[in-house]
Amino acid sequence: MIALSLAEIAEIVGGDLRPAAGHDPASIVSGVVDTDSRQMTPGGIFVAKPGETTDGHRFVGAAIENGAVLALVEHPVDEAISQIVVPDVVVAIADLARAVVARVRASGDLRIVGITGSNGKTTTKNFLARILQDEGETIAPIASYNNEVGAPLTMLRITDTTRFLVCEFGASAPGEIARLAGLVHPDVAVELMVGLAHAGGFGGIEETARAKAELVAAAAPGGTAVLNLDDPRVAGMAPLAEEQGLRIVGFGQGPAAAVRAAGIDVTASGTSCIVHVDGQELPLRLQVLGAHHVNNALAAIAAARALGVAPADAIVRLETVQLAERWRMQPMGGAEVRIINDAYNASPDSMAAALRTLAQITGPDERTVAVLGAMSELGETAGDEHDRIGLLAVRLNIQRIVVVGADARRLFLAAVGEGSWDGEAVHLADADAAFEYLQGELRPGDRVLVKSSNSAGLRFLGDRLGESFS
């Protein structure tokens, strides 16, 4: 974080400053800001956030041991550290992030990109960060720091020399993206897609589209809206972007896209296409698996282009990315049994894309195995969407369908109803049962997809399989 005095921080967050012995209101802090005491480093600011299972106030002492010099708290704690007492530490870090970003923006050349969408946010964020880091100091979220806590913590990592801040905005209810994007008003707003992820929280697909459009509404006047023209609901955000005075750059595979892909080819070693942009035809060879990552790459190229990076340079840098993120289409295992661990999260769209990728990368002498768990937060559409994925798996000729957990049972029943019987589809109670079954079932030549929402916990099953068959 930039250097601020204790008094300045207290004023920004509207808190009651209680300096420790030897500190006074003018004392300067500039260390890392985090809710995890284990991540503290000398000079850090610890945010004592109450949680569902524990309370950050219990870990102020541990934060001190790791170097914290200031704690944001909701009630005073009996520890030898300067404290700022606020009614709500989550609101406080948002206020602090807004002020810090505004100061850096006013005094430097900071450019900000906001990314949202039902799928692909983290991959696109990583793609764009890789492109921009060769242009100057770039801050981007760790993992999926895209909520009311993670987004401000990412913003607070900037310094006076940061040139690019890449923000990822997730949401499970209306208004959340507006609040987060409103902290920074991005220069470039990237809209990836509108799908059924978190549809239960929004109440339906049209409500989801309106929530995603909050990013366009929060963009800085004179900025750029990067829109996926392959998605009608995203393309429909163009009038709003025009009202906001934004320049519109479309990406996708249709002829209207300014950054367009053609000739997509998916293999077990990567994904290739030709990128059409500015009258050029540029070959792109991603090491990341899956045709669905092409649009994520196009979005990153378009956003970087809006920031002055030549598409040819962006492509060279994208081709060095070996992994989108841990647990996202992550190749594991060995030469004989290949595991693709894509179980960090799942929606109907990402589940379908992963299954299609599995079918595309498996050779004629190899066998497809899909290990599937529940998709969460789908609300009243959950049953139908699990049915649809079960049907798709059979129609893609996935040869073994291993369904894990009670919440995914409808997926199994749909697969059986579509014709996946006689042991081709099995339903197992939990990850341990699935691991035991797969230990005896998998054989050389198998290509195995592990896919579920985070809550199903199958990412750890994917790790176990990857280690077992390495």
Quote the CA–CA distance of 84 and 9 in Å, as a whole number.
Answer: 8
Burial 84-121 (b: 16+ CB within 10 A, else e): bbbeebbebbbbbbbbbbebbbeeeebbbbbbbbbbbb
Measured distance CA(327)–CA(305) in Å, rounded: 29
Q: What is the model's pLDDT at position 291?
A: 93
Neighbours of 27 (CB within 10 A): 15
Q: How many Å apart are CA 374 and CA 382, to the nearest integer?
A: 9
pLDDT at residue 361 is higher than 90: yes
Q: What is the CA radius of gyration of the chain?
A: 23
Q: Taking the CB of residue 339, how many other CB atoms lie within 10 A of it? A: 29
Detail the residues annotated as belonging to a binding site for ATP. 117-123
User: Which residue do the tokens 């998998």 mark?
Assistant: 442
Residue 301 Cα to chain centre, angstroms: 17
Which range (50-64, 98-112, 185-199, 336-350) has the least confidence?
Answer: 185-199
C-alpha separations of 459 from 204, 364, 433, 454, 465 in Å: 27, 27, 15, 7, 10
Whether pLDDT at 148 is above 60: yes
Per-residue model confidence as pLDDT tens digits over 391-418: 999 999 999 999 999 999 999 999 999 8
Cα dihedral 324, 330, 331, 333 sign: positive
Beta-sheet pairing, 259-267 with 270-277: antiparallel
Question: What's the pLDDT band for 360 if we cut at 50, 70, 90?
Answer: very high
What is the per-residue pLDDT across 41-58, written as a single tens digit (0 to 9) for each? 999 999 999 988 889 999
Note if the pTM is more than 0.75.
yes
Residues 6+ apart with CB under 8 A from 373: 343, 346, 403, 404, 405, 407, 408, 451, 452, 453, 456, 457, 458
Distance between start and end Cα atoms, the chain:
41
Q: Packing angle between helix 292-306 and helix 348-361, nearest 10 degrees?
A: 110
Q: Which domains does the chain have, with CATH numbers?
A: 4-87 (3.40.1390.10), 108-318 (3.40.1190.10), 330-468 (3.90.190.20)
Question: Which two structure tokens, joined as six digits, stand for 149?
Answer: 């806590």
Phi-psi region of 403 (alpha: psi -120 to 50; beta: other; left: phi over 0): beta
Could you list the residues known to form a binding site, using ranges: 117-123
